Amino acid sequence: MSHPHPDLQLPGPLAPGALRIVPLGGLGEVGRNMTVFEYDGKLLIIDCGVLFPEDHQPGVDLILPDFDYISDRMDDIEAIVLTHGHEDHIGAVPYLLRLRRDIPLVGSQLTLAFLEAKLKEHRITPNLQTVSEGQRRKFGAFDLEFVAVNHSIPDALAVAVRTPAGSILHTGDFKMDQLPLDGRITDLRAFARLGEEGIDLFMVDSTNAEVPGFTVSERDIGPVLDGVFTRADGRIVVASFSSHVHRVQQVLDAANAHGRRVALVGRSMVRNMTIAAELGYLHVPDGVLIDVKKIDDLPDDRVVLMCTGSQGEPMAALSRIANRDHRVSVGPGDTVILASSLIPGNENAVFRIINGLIRLGAKVIHQSNARVHVSGHASAGELLYCYNIVRPKNVMPVHGEIRHLVANGALAVATGVPPERVVLAEDGVVVDLIKGKARIAGAVPCGYVYVDGSSVGGVTEAELKDRRILGEEGFISIFAVVDSSTGKVVSGPQLHARGVAEDDAKLAEIVPELTKALSEATAGGTADAHQLQQVIRRVVGRWASTRLRRRPMIIPVVVEA
């Protein structure tokens, strides 16, 4: 298997008749999926999603793909193809459309409906082009065929991309549930037909490549939910992704069977499920749904709340419920079900919420103690089937952390794909398909772009480091006034600390040493305020390190009088 090298240079010009593939997100992480295809000067994009921040990225709301690689080539984009409606595949589209609003957005009915509602909040009127499985559409030199795949959201599609340089099959996120709730299975007959035609590059979902065997069917959750509903005496709160139509359907059916009413909690949950119901993807039993404002009119054993926040998002409904910062409350006798997988990096936030709910007296059921969720991604056994069915000439694992990509590549090799034909790339690594062979051609800059409130790209890694220091180590501010004519310290130094776990009285012990250091500096001819600030920073930093065993942010202010 060919591995990307950390010292890769910028790629040279694309050879005539070749196809270039540049992943701008989703390779080396779970989320932020986006891949750019280039042929004869024109671009096709598959997916454009977001990544959600982790604890070490304080204050960040979303993380976008880095659009710099294509920002000056917006007119070359033929279309953006969206494989399904999850945020990690469509969430960054509004930000890309700020650069060019009329890019054709291609996807299934439900995917585009979810996206259109999101774009309305951004005040963007999109150019939507709805497709369905079995259809073929051409955008410039890119001849696209759409294939039904099963996932944890309805209407997911794989995409076959035919170009003069060769054919690519991109699975999107998929699994091979043989008894899906909506009856829509992954179309392996189409995979086989495309394989017979010849797939030069197979781009395969890697998320569950480390998991042996086969992903469990969604139908297995129904009896588990039914058992939980049977045993529950008080309120039931179910947390899930706001786009997980299948899970909401199962909750509605279980509630209906047990004489309970369901209230949707969370803006995105209400928005998405309203869209799904209007389009016929969600079937709501008569009289089951009620407004959340009416739940207090019903006894607790008649209420189910379907909410967002299963990943521990601080502003989502479940987190606020756990922190007693929501109109919905839980307590002894109530049951909370976390009906979603645990995305890597969210473990601490989720366990914090679980502990908070248990502290309030609720019983918490999650993936670790009951089968209340199954993955939406193919496990190793299913991936082996796909490789044997498609028989691709080259393989490029996508969607996952490095360990997932490597495991997926090993599966391809096990089915007979030559190791040199398995390309392991990360975000920014450029892969060229030339005369039937995929090879790494270089790399382009590809960093994280942070959304922080209304700021997009304004937060740098250095600023995030400052936030982490402030949050973990606190800060000490020092104020001193220096006579500009004599260079002597005429006021201060005054020290104040925040988040250092020491009061200002403790800081007084450093004042004599600091005053001496400033006097020696000024006596030696140093009168520049910036240089004196550096003296303060060194003295206080050394003292904090040796006496407090801390490395706080030090903010010296020297005023010349």
Neighbouring CB atoms inside 10 A of 76's CB total 13
DSSP summary character for residue 545: I
CA 253 to chain centre: 30
Instruction: Give the dihedral sign, CA 539/542/546/547.
Output: positive
Residue with tokens 């033929």: 78
Least Cα distance to 535 among 551, 550, 549, 516 occurs for 516
26 labeled binding residue:
no
CA–CA distance, 518 with 493 (Å, rounded to integer):
9
376 labeled binding residue:
yes
3-state secondary structure of 544: helix
Bridge-based pairing of strands 166-170 and 34-39 is unpaired
What are 385's two structure tokens? 């089937």
Neighbouring CB atoms inside 10 A of 359's CB total 9
* Phi, psi (degrees; rounded to nearest 5) at 408: -65, -40
Longest pairwise C-alpha distance within the chain: 88
What are 178's two structure tokens? 């043989």
DSSP summary character for residue 392: -
CA–CA distance, 374 with 247 (Å, rounded to integer):
10
What are 237's two structure tokens? 């709160």
375 labeled binding residue:
yes
CA 444 to chain centre: 21
428 labeled binding residue:
no
Helix, strand and coil percent figures for the chain, each rounded to 5:
35, 25, 40
Neighbouring CB atoms inside 10 A of 498's CB total 11
- What length does the chain have? 561
Instruction: Give the dihedral sign, CA 266/267/269/273.
Output: positive
Residue with tokens 């193809």: 81
CA–CA distance, 288 with 304 (Å, rounded to integer):
10
Neighbouring CB atoms inside 10 A of 257's CB total 14
What are 332's two structure tokens? 């002894």
What are 455's two structure tokens? 């700021």
373 labeled binding residue:
yes
Provide the strand spans (E) within 84-200: 104-107, 127-130, 136-139, 142-148, 157-163, 166-170
Peptide bond into 493 cis (omega under 30): yes
Provide the strand spans (E) within 446-543: 449-452, 455-456, 475-482, 489-498
Containing H/E element for 398?
strand 395-398
Instruction: Give the dihedral sign, CA 247/249/253/258.
Output: positive
CA–CA distance, 430 with 439 (Å, rounded to integer):
9
Binding site feature residues: 373-377
Binding residues for substrate: 373-377
